[in-house]
Amino acid sequence: MTKPLVIFGTGDIAQLAFTYFEADSDYDVVAFTVDSEYLESSEFCGRPVVDFESVAERFPPENHRLFIALSYANVNALRKSKFEAGRAMGYQFASYVSSRASILNEGQIGENCFILEDNTIQPFVCIGDNVTLWSGNHVGHHSTIGDHCFIASHVVISGGVMIGSQCFIGVNSTLRDHIVIGERCVIGAGALMLSDAEPEGVYVAKGTERSRVPSSRLRKI
């Protein structure tokens, strides 16, 4: 039996969430919702769009779940605020966990999580509420990911890592074992973290520089 679901958002992530929930879950997306000032169309993905201010009247929390489909804007603050607003309305939240992910932590996953394909979550990992794990990450044993985090693709989180709330971890970054990442840290793409990070730290790896040799002068390529 399917469960009726309302998705907050009408952007790319909301479209992705709709696709994943419809194809690989026991939820049926019945509507979308946005703040009234951003309500530009009455329909999205073939479903009605209603303003967030009246969503509880149209789709009561007693028999509908809510999913906040937003990105890491403002270090996840926007997604956090809408999650808290939905909770204040009385909603419970759906989580999407891909059937193609390896989940070995006995389901220690919070509400409103979005865990895509090819994630490996080892035993004794704890994942908080409102966490996004994009595709292809490794989360090592005994690690903790706090509420409202966004983990991009192909991140390696080694064993025993503690990640505070509202962190953003960029693609292809690596966190060594038993370190602590403070709240609201931004770890850029390709960063290598070998020690603790203080709250609100920004860690950016150096980008690859352009070669002085143009591609027209390369040989054997």
Write b or e for each residue in 103-116: b if 16 or more Cβ atoms lie within 10 A of its Cβ, otherwise e: bebeeebbbbbbbb
pLDDT at 102: 98
Tokens describing residue 43: 């329909």
Write the single-letter amino acid at 57: E
Backbone angles phi, psi at 49, to 5 degrees: -115, 125
DSSP letter for 62, please.
Answer: T
Positions of CATH 2.160.10.10 in the chain? 95-203
Q: What is the pLDDT of residue 1?
A: 78
pLDDT digits (tens, 9 = 90+) for 189-210: 999 999 999 999 999 999 999 9
Q: Write the pLDDT tens digit of every residue in 32-84.
A: 999 999 999 999 999 999 999 999 999 999 999 999 999 999 999 999 999 99
Rg (CA), the chain: 19
pLDDT score for 221: 74
Quickly count: other Cβ atoms within 10 Å of residue 71's Cβ.
Answer: 15
pLDDT at 220 over 90: no
Q: Which of 56, 54, 47 is nearest to 10 (CA)?
A: 47
Residue 95: predicted pLDDT: 98
- The mean per-residue pLDDT over the stretch 111-123 comes to 98
CATH number for the domain formed by residue range(s) 3-93: 3.40.50.20
pLDDT tens per residue, range 127-183: 999 999 999 999 999 999 999 999 999 999 999 999 999 999 999 999 999 999 999
Residue among 121, 128, 146, 114 nearest 27 (CA): 114
Q: Architecture of domain 95-203 in CATH?
A: 3 Solenoid (2.160)
User: What pLDDT score was predicted for residue 91?
Assistant: 98
| Domain limits, CATH 3.40.50.20, in the chain | 3-93
The one-letter amino acid at 138 = H
* Predicted confidence band of residue 107 (pLDDT cuts 50, 70, 90): very high
